[in-house]
Structure 1
Amino acid sequence: MNRRTFLKRAIGSLAAIFGVGGGTYYYARDVEPRMLSIHEEELASAKIPVAFDGFKIIQFSDTHIGFHYSLDQFSKLVDKINDEHPDLIVFTGDLVDEPHTYHWNNELIQILEKLQANYGKYWIYGNHDHGGYGTDIVKNVMDKAGFQLLKNSHTSIEHNSGQVVLAGIDDVMLGRPDLESALKDADAEAFTILLAHEPDYADNTIQFPVDVQLSGHSHGGQVRFPFIGHLYTPLYAQKYVQGKHTFQENNLTLYVNRGIGTTRLPYRFLCKPEIHVFQLKS
């Protein structure tokens, strides 16, 4: 850890000790985690067919159900997503917080089933999905809910004789990501969106014909302070923490979603949960 990072975290820790108390503590624990932000973005490219103008994709991520995020809260989130009338829904990992201790039941499947998108529902593994021997359990739940897994694979989304490519890789931390395999036989000239749970993987993605990478994992840091920013992010979410990032090497654009739930600590401060609403434009 260099001097700058040490000072940043030390000052942030002191601010947390003296500042997160009373009303601030209540706000960070019980108010902000329920304040959903709907972040709208336009994805414009000459590679997008005219037929896809206005095509709407919704990304949600990191629900971490079971750790201070209930099925009732998740059900309300599903209603909000459906209210946006998406054409396509993507989930970028970490469904429940601890798969090996979570009380799995059909209610979660029924809530996930309610999500509606005419062109499908897709998902990728996050590190918590693989953790605690949850790999097969989570896949079984998502399969029953009508979600299609993109694990080092891709699919072509076709609309009025036009197409875009949607690819996904396995989790970087606990899986075996292979972007080369994911894009095998994909049309390199087609507009391509990659789902990758860990945002820092973008430094590898720039070597491939990918236009947009959608990630989560970071939670935006969960707790952020003015002039200081986030205090902590997990491995592979330390370089790109939230928001939009562009790469000139191959015109890649990365969007890092702050996620829905919390993990480790049940707080959010100046870092609201969010969903992304993307509209394509030729």
Structure 2
Amino acid sequence: MLTKTFKITISHKLYKIIIIIPFIISILVTSYGYINAHNIVKKEYTITSTKIKNDKGYKIGLISDVHFGNTFSIQDLEKYRNQLNDENLDFLVLAGDIIDEFTKVEDYEKVFNMLGSINTKNGVYYIHGNHDESRYTNPKDNRKEKLLNAIKNVNITFLNEESINVTDDIIITGRIDYSYRNLGVRYSSNDLIKNLDKEKYLIVADHQPSIYQENKNAGYDLQLSGHTHAGQIWPFGYVTRAISFDYGYLKEDNFNLIVSSGFGVWGYPIRTEEKSEYVIINIEKE
């Protein structure tokens, strides 16, 4: 039996092109991701409800997943603080992961001072995400205590499995992150809502959107979440979308869910999926 051997010869020039093209693509994608991560856009939604009695309605701000120190400086944050001041908000929700394991402790007060100075008629409300307390490391510098002190010292209300009347029409409930569920500190949605006035518009701030059905079934009207970063870096968006509704606006019956892609990014300062954003929600009388 005769065996023929074929040899493919690649010229030196073609070989260099094959090597260089992926390198150039990597540089272009990384550059785009870096620029995209640093370009914060405004995302706006409008919701109507018969529970809203105020003819003018309400304007709510939503910021999640700043992960301060990874992408932005205090000067950057001040720029967007000034933009939010121009919105004339009724109130602002900070939906978790404002800081994380990599945020310098000495920056805690600077970050929350800046966010707490955003002009609102009815206050700024903060909930824990899964990173705020640096739970994925073993810090030796009392980060949890310093976080709580930073919040107490500014114009921010920390809602930890608590509800508060924000306006005559609106009550907001703040949840501790779902990752705390096995520690006995996160209650059921039914327990949290049972003593609330169901005639009012009930908002729940819950960092992770994955169990929104529980909040819906309990009777909340609107859930505000972040956490997913809308995938942040391709192809991780396929993973977040497979787990739950991961970005944008979802309406099921009378329940509304808004998931922000986040103000910042986690890990690498790169975003190739969606835009970094702050969110404006207009809740109007139906």
Same fold, TM-score > 0.5, yes or no: yes
Is 1:149 the counterpart of 2:158 in the alignment? yes
Q: Is the 1:223–1:231 Cα contact (8 Å) retained in structure 2?
A: no
Aligned to 2:9: none
SS in 1 for 2:61: strand
Distance 1:106 1:92, change over 3 A: closer
Q: Identify which of 72, 76, 79 aligns with 1:73.
A: 76
SS in 2 for 1:42: strand
Aligned to 1:230: 237
Distance 2:208 2:25 in 1: 29
Distance 2:55 2:24 in 1: 48
Distance 1:187 1:212 in 2: 15
Structure 2 portions without partners, runs of 5+: 1-21
Aligned to 1:9: none
Distance 1:117 1:100, change over 3 A: closer
TM-score normalised over the length of structure 2: 0.81
Aligned to 1:8: none
What displacement does 1:155 show? 0.8
Distance 2:264 2:78 in 1: 13
Q: Is the 2:92–2:124 Cα contact (8 Å) retained in structure 1?
A: yes
Aligned to 1:247: 252
Q: Is the 1:52–1:280 Cα contact (8 Å) retained in structure 2?
A: no
Aligned to 1:167: 173
Letter in structure 2 aligned against 1:113: G
What displacement does 1:117 show? 0.5
Is 1:36 the counterpart of 2:40 in the alignment? yes
Aligned to 2:274: 271
Structure 1 portions without partners, runs of 5+: 1-16
Distance 2:52 2:200 in 1: 7
Q: Is the 1:38–1:275 Cα contact (8 Å) retained in structure 2?
A: yes
SS in 2 for 1:200: coil
Q: Deviations over 1:185-241 (max 9, x none)?
A: 21022111110000112021122110110000011111246xxx825449xx93111
Q: Is the 2:223–2:258 Cα contact (8 Å) retained in structure 1?
A: yes
Is 1:126 the counterpart of 2:129 in the alignment? yes
Aligned to 1:96: 99
SS in 2 for 1:38: strand
Is 1:136 the counterpart of 2:145 in the alignment? yes
- Max radius of gyration: which structure? 2
My pick for the range that moved more, 189-198 or 107-116, is 107-116
Letter in structure 2 aligned against 1:137: K
Identity %: 25
Aligned to 2:195: 185
- How large is the Cα RMSD of the aligned pairs? 2.4
SS in 1 for 2:258: strand
Q: Is the 1:58–1:277 Cα contact (8 Å) retained in structure 2?
A: yes
Is 1:47 the counterpart of 2:54 in the alignment? no
Distance 1:147 1:78 in 2: 14
Letter in structure 1 aligned against 2:257: L
Aligned to 1:210: 220
Distance 1:273 1:189 in 2: 35
Distance 1:149 1:84 in 2: 22
Matched length: 254
Q: Deviations over 1:10-33 (max 9, x none)?
A: xxxxxxx7785122211211x111
What displacement does 1:54 show? 3.2
Q: Identify which of 209, 215, 222 aligns with 1:199.
A: 209
Q: Deviations over 1:54-105 (max 9, x none)?
A: 3110101110001232222222221111121111111000111216854336
What displacement does 1:181 show? 4.0
Distance 1:218 1:154 in 2: 24
SS in 2 for 1:230: helix
Aligned to 2:18: none
TM-score normalised over the length of structure 1: 0.82
Distance 1:233 1:145, change over 3 A: farther
My pick for the range that moved more, 17-26 or 137-146, is 17-26
Distance 1:141 1:52, change over 3 A: farther
